[in-house]
Amino acid sequence: MAMESGKGFKKHEQSEIHMRAMASRKEFREKRGQTVRNLIQVRPEHKIWLKTVFNTTKYLVANGLSFRGHEENSMLEEGLSGGLYLNTFSDLIFPQDPHLQQIATYLPTNAKYTSPEIQNEVIETLAEIERDSRQRVQRSRVIHPNDGWNY
């Protein structure tokens, strides 16, 4: 019904108000340099940053270490007691890789992936991957060489 010619979405797409809104949107994006092609590309430095965020999270989780400190925020600022998560970046990673520190400096605030909410989401994602992996192993039929029984 909504996709039928002359009704629903199709009718709306042809309306004058929709056409004006789309033209305004296109003009706004072009002024800001935000084309669809630019938006769907993940920059190589963002991939490097994400890999570092996930590896740091995996390390802390695997070792049962706490993440957050008393004065932590998501900004990786100097002088804050940021807990092990943020301090891992500032004390261990950045001194070893100044390029990564430069990447972090120029990332938009919403792309740093260091907020407590994002930390929890990354932990949940890693836990889900681990659970799936364990279930696959448990479902696989393995014959133990000593007794020939299926496990």
The answer to whether 112 touches 104, Cβ cutoff 8 Å, is yes
The per-residue pLDDT for range 91-139, each reduced to its tens digit, is: 888 888 888 888 888 777 667 777 777 778 888 888 888 888 888 888 8
148's torsion region: left (phi>0), alpha (psi -120 to 50) or beta? Answer: left
Cα pseudo-dihedral 102, 96, 110, 119, rounded to 10: 180
The model's confidence at residue 71, banded by pLDDT at 50, 70 and 90, is: low
Return the minimum-mean-pLDDT range out of 35-49, 77-91, 120-134. Answer: 35-49
- For the chain, give the mean pLDDT: 73
Phi, psi of 73 (to 5 degrees): -130, -175
